[in-house]
């Protein structure tokens, strides 16, 4: 079946975008990447999402994350829509956004990546693109995917939080607990022995006592 699973390598597709033609792997380079799809241009929820994504673009850039959107309309439509998105943000209504938008008018890429929403269709009865988020690591492999229906807008602050967790846990032997935010304590991964944990985390490892007597809830301040 079409679509991507965690650990799959991103397809090295070519596409026309609002910033010219790209080859996806070249676009990503050595950066992390976020590909997020939208059902259609000039639609209300999508406009608010892209507006928020544009506002948060500097935060993603600080984290070495390249952003790219996809919608099933043409580049000229994307450019005209970008004016509305900037106006929604209270900015000058120019055609440029901080990231490119892929033109997938024939839905070829949406089908290949498993992005279509079977329940939402356009006036011609064609399925619309769902609200998919793919996050790729510098190795071009899929680290996270989130799938929303066309009727539910995404939380881009949550996507930023997820990036912080993915980047931290990619390089440190920790996991992030429920509702974690950057700067909060993290959890030591269960596979790490206590003695090794003490060496790796000089700020201390703190274990919560539980009725089972098992010592698996091990916390440590977020490592640098």
The catalytic residue positions are 46
Q: How many CB atoms lie within 10 A of CB 194?
A: 11
Q: DSSP state, 10? A: P
Coil/strand/helix, residue 86: helix
Q: At how many degrees (to 10) do helices 156-171 and 44-62 cross?
A: 30
Per the DSSP assignment, residues forming a β-bridge with 102 are 17, 70
Residue of 149, 162, 129, 178 lying closest to 56 (CA atoms)? 162
Residue of 2, 45, 26, 224 lying closest to 150 (CA atoms)? 45
What is d(CA 163, CA 155) in angstroms, rounded to the nearest whole number? 13
CB 135 within 8 A of CB 162: yes
Residue of 193, 71, 160 lying closest to 122 (CA atoms)? 71
Coil/strand/helix, residue 129: strand
Q: Give the tokens for residue 70.
A: 């996809």
């Amino acid at each position: 079946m079409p679509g991507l699973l965690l650990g799959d390598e991103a397809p090295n597709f070519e596409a026309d975008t609002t910033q010219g033609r790209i080859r996806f792997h070249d676009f990503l380079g050595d950066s992390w990447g976020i590909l997020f799809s939208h059902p259609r241009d000039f639609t209300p929820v999508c406009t608010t999402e892209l507006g928020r994504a544009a506002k948060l673009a500097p935060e993603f850039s600080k984290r070495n994350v390249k952003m790219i959107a996809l919608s099933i309309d043409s580049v000229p439509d994307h450019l005209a829509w970008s004016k509305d998105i900037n106006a929604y943000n209270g900015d000058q209504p120019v055609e440029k956004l901080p990231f490119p938008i892929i033109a997938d008018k024939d839905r070829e890429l949406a089908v290949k990546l498993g992005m279509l929403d079977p329940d939402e269709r356009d006036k011609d009865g064609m399925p619309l693109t769902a609200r998919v988020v793919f996050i790729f690591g510098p190795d071009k492999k899929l680290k996270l995917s989130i799938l929303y229906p066309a009727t539910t807008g995404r939380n881009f602050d949550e996507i930023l939080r997820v990036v912080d967790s993915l980047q931290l846990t990619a390089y440190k032997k920790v996991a992030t607990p429920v509702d974690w935010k950057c700067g909060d304590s993290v959890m030591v991964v269960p596979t790490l022995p206590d003695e090794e944990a003490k060496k790796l985390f000089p700020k201390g490892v703190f274990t919560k006592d539980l009725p089972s007597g098992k010592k698996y809830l091990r916390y440590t301040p977020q490592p640098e």
